[in-house]
Chains A and B, each alone.
Chain A
């Protein structure tokens, strides 16, 4: 029964990522969650059947000097350095480190800014690629209201030309989610944005799966003819699934805790995913627009004993900001999308700022391959609206909306999301203040490996699809 052994190994192997969940850097001004989802003590037979094969290639040590650094911990360092070696951050601070490898690449960042790699908690890259033809449309298994059994990674097309464009926006990590057609859409996958022949070669090592759930208009519209066709139908649909899942979890956990002799219970892919949520091993990412629905989803989660890690879109998150903070539910939000459907009409630009000011975990997400390229700009726009509402925050705190807070939502805040010793060397060098409309990412490193250098066209990552199909544009400079 090798698969069983592999499953248990997974549960142990990811302990490094999970163990310190919730431990915020002491300097962080934003509040941290009081608790994190379950311990993950028991896992499932098939917990990691498509393991990550991503390994950062060897690279010279990297020393960036004379930079303004927004560390992601809530602090800012002027004329500082970031030193990365063997893929990990070694030191961050003013001046230069005492001890630097002789072969280190030294990058002069005078007048420029350095931040952690940005993180997008809501992407459909690879599952809704460009070009958007039917043959590549793999983001919604809209054949049944609950498809917890499907995994987004099985739809990801690594040659999606959107990947290098989003990387050029300074994004190094993203969560690819199934769409919102279904009440329960399936498992997400967290990727590093690197060229790879396989999705396994992009999978963030040790990252947990997420579960996509969706409230409101989308499921009831998609299933109008067969049901659910109402919001009450939606709610009944979730509850029926969780009732089954809880019975399944008990059956399996009982067997796993016993002597494991005889046949194990039958496997059910749908139930395996949901049971993993109930065990706390999969994080729930809940598409939900309206405040009243989010408040019902919080009750639903309580009924079945799971946690919601992030509300996505949440255009009305500002109406329950205090509750989200109290319950440690983050908000993956836009600065100002709204109005395009009834459940989005109350969208306001101060949404993120109000969630933040209430003590919550505010995150700028994209749900869009264009928006993903400007998460920093979206944060800047939202801050300006917050300022008008009497809520202001400095650059070094704002950057957390697109770094540390997003890492927290993915359960990866101990390994990425800030520039601190021991964390991944995911670093962006910006041409100026990242919250200016004129600023672009000059360079991007992932695990200390240079993945983008705007000044070096030879480094430009062109996916297989782009070769021949997409003209190589002449390089043009920006304002700075």
Chain B
């Protein structure tokens, strides 16, 4: 494995660290995701990045060795659509920082990560129970909700941005919420905003001197939309209904947007069109209820059917029990349920690791186990999708978590069924 050794040397030089920070996870079943599963394999972590992955990796002297025989090793999971760090207690208003207040429904300039609470008690359970090391932090509300970021769940007590903005968020099929009278009205509003954003580059000087007709959105929001209408920043359009998804596809074509569909309860009904347009879908694996007239076609086979049609999918938790924040950690069980409803196991793992990393524009560093990637690594006691499996070791950028979650502290105190203060 000369390549491996070479890579190792390169990494060592680059970071200038070795010794205590070199960790070898040995004898494991390793799912690199970017390549096939490896048995009795080693993952070598050095200086916060992955130095080597393979079945014939030399463990350097002085490395800390974790014998992972019988264990399963995956990349840290990526939860693409969360409110982690921006909502602490949903019903307590002063702990909510996930949305902007805009009379016109256009909050493109809103950067949700600026309200991120790095001290949130919900980060640790996502990591330690859920094996999640990277999250998309996504704004809500409004017709154009704002800009989402990708955050690494490191041990730091400050926000660790992996990428910001990662994408813009908009909503379709929600005319009442978007201050429109109907779906057509909603589209007309959105088109007007996008058209003004397109024109913004050439009219900017006149806008700043007040020499223009009334605009469909504020200058700050139009400015923030520039990378969207240039096609450089993806626009995640939240839409469930098949007709709304078709409208989103038409809008993307009309304005030259790079879009993703989020929610996508009925996306399976538009699967061939989504595949043809290479538009990915971020969806949950548990939805099967016709909760509204817009989602009568909701089916739990959604993800499997989308994959079968060649659509790229990422699983985002949308099951019961606050999977946006408190229970972000349940992402891995969503993946398991996706398998129960027809997805292949490998596809499901990809849909919670490399696929969302690609959609968020961070696959160069996260979502797979390969030399040069960030050492976001989870050692599982077994199949990561199973309830009886626990995340035994979670590394983010090479650092391992050993602390207790708030929930573990409460459990310790009351384990006997009464208080032990």
A-side residues, CB < 8 A to B, are 130-133, 161-162, 165, 217, 318-323, 325, 334, 336-342, 345-350, 354-355, 357-358, 360, 366, 368-371, 373-374, 377, 380-381, 383-385, 388-391, 435-440, 466, 469-471, 473, 476-479
- Known interface pairs A337-B320, A347-B407; 15 further A-B residue pairs with C-beta atoms within 8 A, sorted by A's residue number: A130-B290, A161-B289, A217-B91, A318-B411, A322-B416, A336-B326, A337-B321, A342-B91, A349-B407, A354-B414, A373-B288, A385-B411, A437-B336, A437-B387, A478-B339
Report which of A162, A334, A340, A471 forms a contact with B90, defined as CB distance below 8 A: A340
Nearest Cβ on chain B to A343's Cβ, whole angstroms: 9
Asked if A355 meets B411 with Cβ closer than 8 Å, knowing A437-B340, A440-B340, the reply is: no
B304, B322, B325, B411 interface centre (most CB from chain A within 10 Å): B411
The answer to whether A478 touches B385, judged by C-beta atoms less than 8 angstroms apart, is no
Contact A336 B330, beta carbon cutoff 8 Å: yes
From A320, A341, A370, A437, name the one whose CB has the most chain B CB atoms within 10 angstroms. Answer: A437
A161 to B407, CA, bound (A): 36
Q: A472 to B410, alpha carbons, bound, how many Å?
A: 47
Q: Are A437 and B89 interface neighbours, CB within 8 A?
A: no
Interface stretch, picked from B6-14, B45-53, B293-301, is B293-301
- Let me know if B341 and A162 touch, CB within 8 A: no
Q: With A435-B388, A478-B341 as known contacts, state yes or no: A342 contacts B415, CB within 8 Å.
A: no
CB distance from B302 to the nearest CB of A (A): 10
Given A336-B330, A358-B416, A165 contacting B322 (CB threshold 8 A): no
- Knowing A319-B414, A340-B326, A437-B336, say if A473 contacts B321 (CB, 8 Å): no
Known contacts A340-B89, A476-B304; is A348 also within 8 Å of B289 by CB? no
| Chain A CB within 8 A of B210 CB | no
Q: Are B387 and A381 in contact (CB under 8 A)?
A: yes
> What's the nearest-Cβ distance from chain B to residue A268, in Å?
35
With A131-B296, A348-B411, A368-B320 in contact, is A319–B289 under 8 Å at CB?
Answer: no
CB distance from B284 to the nearest CB of A (A): 10
Identify B340's interface contact among A132, A336, A370, A478, CB under 8 A.
A478
- Take A321-B418, A336-B330, A341-B89 as given contacts and tell me if A133 and B386 are in contact as well, using a CB distance cutoff of 8 Å: no
Q: Least Cβ distance of A256 to chain B in Å? A: 42
Q: Is B3 among interface residues, defined by CB-CB distance under 8 A? A: no
Look across to chain B and name the residue whose beta carbon is closest to the beta carbon of A382.
B387
* Residue in A339, A342, A369, A476 whose CB lies within 8 Å of B342: A476
Distance in Å: Cβ of B267 to nearest Cβ of chain A: 14
Residues from chain B with a CB closer than 8 A to the CB of A161 are 289-290
B340 near A473 with CB under 8 A, answer: no
B293 proximity list for chain A (CB < 8 A): 131, 133
Q: What separation, in Å, do the CA atoms of A66 and B388 have in the docked complex?
A: 25
Q: B301 to chain A: which residues have CB within 8 Å?
A: 473, 476
Tell me the complex Cα distance, A345–B286, Å: 24
Residues of chain B contacted by A435 (CB below 8 angstroms): 387-388
Given contacts A349-B407, A370-B287, contact A380 B90 (CB under 8 A): no
Least CB distance, B266 to chain A, in whole angstroms: 9
Shortest Cβ distance from A341 into B: residue: B91
Q: Does B419 contact A (CB under 8 A)?
A: yes
Residues on B close to A: CB < 8 A?
A: 88-92, 122, 129, 269, 286-293, 295-297, 299, 301, 304-305, 319-322, 325-327, 330, 333, 336-337, 339-342, 345, 385-390, 407, 410-411, 414-419
Question: CB distance A342 to B89 under 8 Å?
Answer: yes
CA distance A338 to B326 in the complex (A): 7
- Which residue of chain A has its CB nearest to the CB of B409? A348
Chain B nearest Cβ from A284, distance in angstroms: 22
Residues of A within 8 A of B388 (CB): 380, 383-384, 435
Q: Shortest Cβ distance from B245 into chain A, in angstroms?
A: 15
A341-B90, A437-B387, A439-B340 as given contacts; A336 in contact with B321, CB under 8 Å: yes
Interface centre among B290, B297, B342 (most CB of A within 10 A): B290
Contact of A384 among B88, B288, B320, B390 (CB under 8 A): B390
Cα A479 to Cα B291 with chains together (Å): 27
A-B contact pairs, 11 of them (CB 8 A): A132-B291, A318-B417, A337-B321, A348-B407, A349-B129, A377-B333, A437-B386, A438-B386, A439-B340, A469-B290, A470-B290
* Nearest-Cβ distance from residue B108 to partner chain A, whole angstroms: 28
Beta-carbon nearest neighbor of B330 in chain A:
A336
**Closest approach, in angstroms, between the C-beta of B344 and any C-beta of chain A?**
9
Would B321 and A334 count as touching, CB distance under 8 A? yes
Which residue of A is nearest B295, CB measured? A131
Residues from chain A with Cβ under 8 Å of B326 in the complex: 336-340, 347
Contact (A131, B387) CB under 8 Å given A339-B89, A476-B342, A479-B339: no
A320 adjacent to B418 (CB under 8 Å): yes
Contacts of A479 in B (CB 8 A): 339-340, 345
Instruction: Select from chain B the residue with minimum beta-carbon distance to A376.
Output: B387
A427 to B289, CA, bound (A): 24
Asked if A358 meets B417 with Cβ closer than 8 Å, knowing A370-B286, A440-B340, the reply is: yes
Nearest Cβ on chain A to B392's Cβ, whole angstroms: 11
Bound Cα distance A347, B269 (Å): 38
Report chain B residues within 8 Å CB of A320. Answer: 417-418
Given contact pairs A380-B388, A476-B342, A470 touches B415 in the complex (Cβ within 8 A): no
Contact of A131 with B418 in the complex, beta carbons under 8 Å? no
Bound Cα distance A346, B413 (Å): 12
CA–CA, A348 and B388, complex, Å: 17
- For the complex formed, measure the closest distance between the CB of A440 and the CB atoms of chain B, giving whole angstroms: 6
A195 vs chain B, min Cβ distance (A): 17
Are A380 and B414 interface neighbours, CB within 8 A?
no
A319-B419, A337-B322, A435-B387 known; A130 vs B336 contact (CB < 8 Å): no
Bound together, the chains give a CA A466 to CA B298 distance in angstroms of 12
Contact B341 A476 (CB under 8 A): yes
Are A346 and B90 neighbours in the complex by a CB distance under 8 Å? no
